[in-house]
């Protein structure tokens, strides 16, 4: 379970949000909403430990994530704006390496199966520099298929994806939630997960006193 | 699903970086060619007096190795930073220091080791004796990994900075002075008939120190640069 209490975060001198509290339980999904610059990405990056919060705590199963460090990282998966794939490597190599870095030794067979499910059949061995923007995103998203992380932190997962891929991501999220996983994400496109209550957290930018409030 | 162990992850990073270096061979070659050029310019510029060249050889080779290792340092983390791989490395379930050490080892294999192998050929240009060449190689083998590791700290601190390349050299070069002194000292000791063991063991000690501390320091610097 992920608990955030009284979190405050700023970039430079600008306070993005303060007094932010929420909890995410197994099987729950939460969408972070807000206009550009309201701190959605900063919130997700704070959850990953890239940014230090000004105030407040982030707890994973009751212990602070800054103390858990690697133990916490083993149970979470982050997909940011950047795809973290190498242009020179093929989709297959990229997927096996990124899975390896998240601690999973992936066999070639499993990696190919994951890429095929992402709709990249026949392109597994091409260097990713010849793939389109959306196809590269699919290579990056294939990590969702091979990960055993409990918490998914997804920053704009649907960017550059076509309708079929969006449907696939919705399906993957539904499967993950059914396995008692947790998802926190941002998106500017509608994302529907069948049979799940979608919680939303809206970050508003009201001058200096900006506040996040879970709906 | 099988889990990666710490050593598995370490090897994975090395394998990955070597694979990437093989796909971008130009980067590797530029460092090596720069080294060869700088070293070859000296006999042309100074003139063909054997005594002077022999005396200069260790210093020239070491300084050239130092400069060419600066050349490739900027790339140590910047590509991974730009495409987001560095973020994923920080979220690896093993210590970031271990992954950083893997990157440093791979960097040395790509940019340091070729210099070590090339050095004896260039040493002949300076009429170095076989014994002096041997000591030069041992010294470079011990010293170039230290350059990659100290350079790693600088590369992490200057990550994402505009004009970081020059700043990086200014930061790192002074820290490399001890390596330069003991490396050249060992070769000079051969020609004066002194024992080379003291210089080489000091280089070895520096290497052990660098192995113990630089990955951790670099990992901390990377975390700061990510903010």
pLDDT at residue B146 tops 60: yes
CA distance B65 to chain A (A): 28
Give per-residue pLDDT as tens, B173-227: 999 999 999 999 999 999 888 889 999 999 999 999 999 999 999 999 999 988 8
Residue A207 pLDDT? 43
Is residue B82 pLDDT above 70, yes or no? yes
Distance from CA of B102 to the nearest CA of A (A): 12
Is B90 at the interface with chain A, CB within 8 A?
yes
CA distances from A96 to A85, A91, B21 (A): 11, 9, 18
Which residue of A10, A75, A80, A100 to mutate against B (max B Cβ within 10 Å)?
A100
Q: Mean pLDDT, to the nearest integer, of B44-61? A: 89
Confidence at residue B171, expressed as pLDDT on a 0 to 100 scale: 92
**In this predicted structure, what is the pLDDT of residue A210?**
40
* Interchain proximity B20–A86, CB inside 8 Å: yes
Residues B86-110: tens digit of each pLDDT: 999 999 988 899 999 999 999 999 9
In angstroms, the CA A116 to CA A107 distance is 14
> With an 8 Å Cβ cutoff, are A88 and B91 in contact?
no
User: Distance from CA of residue B224 to its chain's centroid?
Assistant: 23
Q: In CATH terms, is domain A2-75+149-214 a member of 3.90.1170.40?
A: no
Reported as type and span, the H/E element at residue A58 is strand A55-60
Is B84's CB within 8 Å of A50's CB? no
Query: Is residue A123 a contact partner of residue A112, using CB atoms and an 8 Å limit?
Result: no
What mean pLDDT comes out for the span B13-39?
92
Mean pLDDT per 10-residue segment, chain A (215 residues): 91 87 92 88 91 91 89 92 91 93 90 92 91 92 92 92 91 92 90 81 62 49
Tokens of residue A135, six digits:
């196809």
- The yes-or-no verdict on residue B46 having pLDDT over 90 is no
Judge contact between B108 and B144, C-beta under 8 A. yes
Residues of A within 8 A of B227 (CB-CB) are: 50-52
Query: Rounded distance, CA A174 to CA A144, Å?
Result: 12
User: Per DSSP, what are the bridge partners of residue A8?
Assistant: A55
pLDDT on residue B106? 96
pLDDT category at B81 given cuts 50, 70, 90 is very high
Where do the structural domains in chain A lie, given as residue ranges? 2-75+149-214, 88-148
Average per-residue pLDDT for chain B: 92
Per the listing, tokens 């000296």 go with B42
B interface test, pick of A41, A103, A145, A157 with most B CB neighbours within 10 Å: A103
B interface test, pick of A74, A84, A142 with most B CB neighbours within 10 Å = A84
**CA A172 vs CA A104, A146, A157, B50: distances in Å:** 19, 11, 12, 72
pLDDT of the residue at B4: 79
Alpha-carbon distance of A114 to B161, in angstroms, equals 37
φ, ψ for residue A181, nearest 5 deg: -85, 175
- Cβ neighbours of A130 in B, within 8 Å: none
pLDDT attached to residue A86: 92
Q: What are phi and psi of A124, to 5 degrees?
A: -65, -30
pLDDT tens for A31-69 read 998 888 888 999 999 999 899 899 999 999 999 998 888
Task: Give me the pLDDT at residue A2, please.
Answer: 92
The answer, for A129 touching chain B at a CB cutoff of 8 Å, is no
Cβ contacts below 8 Å, chain A against chain B, sum to 89
Q: What was the pLDDT predicted at A126?
A: 92
> What does the pLDDT read at residue B209?
96
Query: Does B224 contact chain A (CB < 8 Å)?
Result: no
pLDDT value for A205: 66
Chain B segment 11-40 residues within 8 A of A by beta carbon are: 12-13, 16, 19-20, 23-24
């Amino acid at each position: 379970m992920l608990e955030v209490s009284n979190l405050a975060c700023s970039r430079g001198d600008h306070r993005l949000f303060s007094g932010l509290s929420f909890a995410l339980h197994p099987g729950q999904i939460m969408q972070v909403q807000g206009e550009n610059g309201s701190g959605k990405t900063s919130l997700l990056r704070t959850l990953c430990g890239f940014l230090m919060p000004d105030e407040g705590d982030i707890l994973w199963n009751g212990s602070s994530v800054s103390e858990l460090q690697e133990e916490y990282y083993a149970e979470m998966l982050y997909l940011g704006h950047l795809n973290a794939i190498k242009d020179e490597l093929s989709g297959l190599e990229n997927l096996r390496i990124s899975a390896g870095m998240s601690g999973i030794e992936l066999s070639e067979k499993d990696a190919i199966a994951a890429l095929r499910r992402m709709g990249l059949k026949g392109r597994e061995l091409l260097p990713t520099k010849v793939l389109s923007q959306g196809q590269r995103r699919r290579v990056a998203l294939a990590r969702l298929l091979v990960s055993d992380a409990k918490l998914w932190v997804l920053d704009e997962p649907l960017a550059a994806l076509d309708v079929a891929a969006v449907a696939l991501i919705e399906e993957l999220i539904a499967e993950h939630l059914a396995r008692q996983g947790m998802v926190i994400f941002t998106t500017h496109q509608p994302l529907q997960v069948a049979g799940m209550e979608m919680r939303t957290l809206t970050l508003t930018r009201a001058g200096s006193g900006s506040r996040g409030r879970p709906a | 699903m099988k889990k990666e162990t710490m050593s598995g992850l370490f090897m994975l990073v090395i394998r990955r970086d070597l694979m990437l270096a093989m796909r971008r061979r130009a980067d590797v070659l530029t460092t090596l060619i720069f080294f060869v050029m700088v070293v070859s310019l000296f006999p042309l510029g100074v003139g063909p007096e054997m005594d002077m060249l022999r005396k200069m050889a260790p210093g020239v080779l070491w300084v050239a190795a130092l400069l060419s290792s600066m050349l490739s340092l900027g790339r140590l983390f910047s590509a991974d930073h730009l495409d987001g791989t560095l973020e994923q490395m920080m979220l690896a379930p093993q210590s970031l220091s271990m992954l950083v050490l893997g990157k440093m080892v791979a960097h040395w294999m790509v940019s340091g080791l070729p210099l070590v192998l090339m050095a004896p050929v260039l040493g002949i240009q300076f009429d170095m004796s076989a014994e002096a060449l041997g000591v030069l190689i041992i010294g470079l083998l011990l010293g170039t990994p230290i350059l990659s590791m100290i350079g790693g700290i600088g590369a992490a601190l200057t990550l994402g900075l505009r004009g970081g390349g020059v700043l990086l050299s200014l930061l790192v070069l002074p820290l490399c002075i001890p390596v330069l002194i003991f490396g050249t000292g060992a070769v000079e000791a051969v020609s004066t008939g002194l024992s080379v063991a003291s210089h080489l063991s000091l280089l070895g000690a520096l290497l052990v120190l660098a192995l113990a501390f630089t990955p951790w320091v670099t990992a901390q610097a990377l975390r700061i640069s990510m903010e």
